Chain A
Amino acid sequence: MTTLARRNVLGLSIAAGIGAIGVAVGVKKQTAKPNHLRPPGALPAGEFESACARCFKCGSACPNGCIKYYGLGDGLGRAFTPYITPRDRACTLCGECANVCPSGALKPFGSTSEEWRANVDMGTAQVSKGQCYSFNGRTCGACYRACPLAGKAIKIGLLETPHVQADACVGCGLCEQACLHLPQAIRVIPRETRDRTLPGEGPEVS
């Protein structure tokens, strides 16, 4: 146990050291890549990268194995910070990562659907009607059945068509993971991309 703890401390200090060096040499803060989500309960972009201790505890705690980490190749500023690719493996909102986060970069967000709606904002799902099977007469509904807030975040319409309710969607990405269409007809637009207001940089609208 001691060795493990020691290694943890070692890893943590190395990672924190790299972050500190990065800041010291004036590397620009880098947020998550455009198609990646931060784990649930994450602080806003910028604040998150400052607060994250690069301790890897969130990933070790994740029973779902969906949390991955950026490497040095992804840029010094975002190196060793966690991210999720929902189409590979989406977050199940179990909350373990936020519960173990020592630095407050991930804030515990509760376990009821009301608490999720209040405290989690990973992004917002968006449907491409041109690609979605249900919008093209072939009933599917896989995303609706995968949604942990089915009926609230996704309402079902005629022929199982999904209708995302932006105010209720927390962006977990389970819909994107479940989508039968390739490329995915429903995808989560990450918080940062969604909120970017510069013209031409906003989320694609289909």
Chain B
Amino acid sequence: MCMTSAVTGYFKSLGSDTPPTAYEDIELADMVTHWGHNARGSHPIVFWRIADHKANKKIPTLVVDPRRTGTVMGYEEVNEANSYHFSTINGDIAIQNAIAHVLLTSHEEAIAWDFLKGHSTGWEDYVKGVTERYAPEKVQHITMIDPKYLREVAAIWAEASIKGRKNGKGGVLSLWGIGYNQHIHGQNNTVSLINLMALSGNIGRPGCGPFSMTGQPNAMGERLTGGLTGRLPFNEGLSNVAWRDHIAKVWRIPPERLASVAKEENPGMAIGMMERALKGDVKAMFLIYATHIDLPDQNTLVRPALNKTFNVVQEIYRHAPNNLYADVILPAATWGEWVGGTYIQSERRFYVCDGTANPIRGTKPDMDMVIDKGRAIATALDLDADAIFPYKKMANGFYNPEDVFRDIVIASKGSDSDLTGMLEVEERDGVALYDQIRNHRGIQWPAPTYEIARNGGTKRRYMEQEGWDGKPYGGFRTADGKLHMHLCEQNYEGREEIIAQLSRAGTEKGFYMIDNLHLLEKARDNGLTPELPDFDFLNKRWDEVPVDKYPFWIGLGVVYEHFHTAKTIRSGTTKRLVPEMYVEMNIDDAGVLGIEDGEWVRVISRRGSYEARASIGLDSKVKPARNTVPRGYMFSPWNLSVGDSADPEKNRWLANAITHRAFDPVSGQVDFKKCAARIEKIRV
């Protein structure tokens, strides 16, 4: 639900799910842009590195976010003159195409024609499309940005791109976060950004490139080891027969078993699973921490579905919301409790994390549970469990994660993310795998040779930046070695009709999204939203808005004082910082609605509602009050959803009660950012 749009977007454009950049690129960049990414909150160290670089080198920055966030204000504090902010709702693709239009028509010297002609395909269509249809003036109703301002930013973009190309390092570095991924057109967002980066030659050179910022530390680890359905470890699809057989071999399982898995389908991904559970096609679910409250449309989709299925829940918290729907609970030990392991962060870097405490009695590390269950299943299937899982328990009764990591490294041989250089280092220098990672304070995959592994892995990727011979890493990882450009469109013509159809999900019994994928595809191809607010009712007092009208945009996100599912609300410190559910409201909207700062309101959509305190402006008494929202747009955190109570009877803060289940038909990511809602005052 957080990064799959980046995954599928990277694949479509670059042929591999690989962020090509490193954090070191920040200090080399000539311009930094953030898309749907409040870096100051979500990646503070990254933000401050950029802010420091901005202060030293006076580089321009652009933040694309509906809200004026701490990131926007922080950059303005450093240097107001070259800090730009695009407050757009859903207009990202049109903005990028419009910038491309301006580059092509007014700053041709910024176009990397040599790169386009030599290393990419599809650029002709892209150039033609954006030149013809995306003049900033023509798409202003989509971008929501003053064309003059957009042209100004495009000029800065051109200047930075030229500078980077001339110096051989630097250019535009574009970071994006979850706010950019969670759209019906999430994958297109990624592709569209890569298009613009390629057009201006900001890829394949130090100091520039597209850079997805992952959330939880191990989002990248899950991606690399094939955590998504339809994927095998190390960036290959389940349909790749040769790689499938290779994985079967290193997993020591019969290849025909893995081949039979390739025939399975998972239409609609996470949402599809829930819908099929509602239909009765999915009978059981196994939830490993993946909390159900981060899924959309809780009232009509997720909770009814979980009520029907047989649920096994692997959890570390006794009061986790998943436990309420569990038939079997497997108590697990956390990552910090003795066993440790590895994780990967945004720049492809492996880290070792060592446990510090002993697991609580009766709990087991996740890896041990997987191995033990795997052994039991293998035995039941008449397979040789000892051969498949040749791991031995250590004196303390747990398996050694380093043994499993060695298997991961061995299995990566010859892949896009080859790590086998580490084995050579172990053999020749006698340094154990984990120690290599510890010594380097992280190794960046790939590390296919002795020299590269010894030097801490590969910093940057693509256009031969990896720097070694005889490995299949030339230009890009697509079949033809070229970057594939696909023009992504955004066109609001006739959107009312498509969106009206989408609105049937969650409100009409028997209407399933997976049976209407063509609708989602149409919405994606035109860059639409799952819902459309009733703008005609924007300027009314809250009690004058008819009950079937929803005049406001509402977007959900995260408040960083609390971790997912608000278990941190039980900690005195974090509770003091942000004690309760809130909704950020524009001061003018609040005035028209007749809502005062601090009043409790109900946020209502077509599918459900939640209660929140109105937080108006930066001086609000409702904490944290550090962002402001544009008119017609509101924002709430979803990670306080069960901060009041996990018990559905008493739970009033469940933000995902209101969201729409529309998702990106390729990446499966849900659009949490643009629902339509109404505000009602709660009378006390």
Q: Which A residues fall within an 8 A CB radius of B?
A: 139, 142, 145, 151, 156, 158-160, 178, 180
Inter-chain contacts of A180 with B (CB < 8 A): 573, 577
Inter-chain contacts of B44 with A (CB < 8 A): 139, 159-160
CA distance A188 to B615 in the complex (A): 28
A-B contacts, 8 of them at CB < 8 A, read: A145-B624, A145-B626, A151-B77, A156-B77, A159-B44, A178-B576, A180-B573, A180-B577
Which 9 residue pairs across A and B have the least CB separation, nearest first? A139-B44, A159-B48, A158-B52, A180-B573, A158-B48, A145-B626, A139-B48, A139-B45, A142-B577
CA distance A139 to B573 in the complex (A): 16
CA distance A151 to B519 in the complex (A): 49
Asked if B51 is at the interface (CB within 8 A of a chain A CB), the reply is: yes
Classify the interface of chain A: helix, strand, loop or mixed. Answer: helix
Least Cβ distance of B637 to chain A in Å? 16
Inter-chain contacts of A151 with B (CB < 8 A): 77
User: How many residues of chain B have a CB within 8 Å of chain A?
Assistant: 12
The answer to whether B45 and A158 touch across the interface, beta carbons within 8 angstroms, is: no
Inter-chain contacts of A156 with B (CB < 8 A): 74, 77
CA distance A12 to B45 in the complex (A): 56
Q: Which B residues fall within an 8 A CB radius of A?
A: 44-45, 48, 51-52, 74, 77, 573, 576-577, 624, 626
The answer to whether B77 and A178 touch across the interface, beta carbons within 8 angstroms, is: no
CB-CB under 8 A for A178 and B48, given A145-B624, A145-B626: no
Least Cβ distance of A31 to chain B in Å? 30
Q: In the complex, what residue of chain B is closest to A181 when comparing beta carbons? A: B573
Least Cβ distance of A9 to chain B in Å? 35
The answer to whether A159 and B45 touch across the interface, beta carbons within 8 angstroms, is: yes
The answer to whether B45 and A178 touch across the interface, beta carbons within 8 angstroms, is: no
The answer to whether B573 and A158 touch across the interface, beta carbons within 8 angstroms, is: no
Inter-chain contacts of B74 with A (CB < 8 A): 156
Given A159-B44, A160-B48, 7 more A-B residue pairs with CB atoms under 8 Å apart are A139-B44, A139-B48, A142-B577, A158-B51, A159-B48, A160-B44, A178-B576
CA distance A180 to B624 in the complex (A): 14
CA distance A180 to B77 in the complex (A): 24
Inter-chain contacts of A158 with B (CB < 8 A): 48, 51-52
Inter-chain contacts of B624 with A (CB < 8 A): 145
Least Cβ distance of A142 to chain B in Å? 7
Inter-chain contacts of A159 with B (CB < 8 A): 44-45, 48
Least Cβ distance of A163 to chain B in Å? 13
CA distance A201 to B347 in the complex (A): 51
Q: In the complex, what residue of chain B is closest to A137 when comparing beta carbons? A: B45
Inter-chain contacts of B626 with A (CB < 8 A): 145
Inter-chain contacts of B45 with A (CB < 8 A): 139, 159
CA distance A139 to B42 in the complex (A): 11
Least Cβ distance of B373 to chain A in Å? 38
CA distance A139 to B71 in the complex (A): 14
CA distance A178 to B561 in the complex (A): 13
Least Cβ distance of B447 to chain A in Å? 27
CA distance A160 to B71 in the complex (A): 12
Q: In the complex, what residue of chain A is closest to B574 when comparing beta carbons? A: A180
Least Cβ distance of B136 to chain A in Å? 34
CA distance A193 to B107 in the complex (A): 63
The answer to whether A178 and B577 touch across the interface, beta carbons within 8 angstroms, is: yes
CA distance A21 to B393 in the complex (A): 79
CA distance A158 to B74 in the complex (A): 10
Q: In the complex, what residue of chain A is closest to B561 when comparing beta carbons? A: A142
Q: In the complex, what residue of chain B is closest to A155 when comparing beta carbons? A: B77
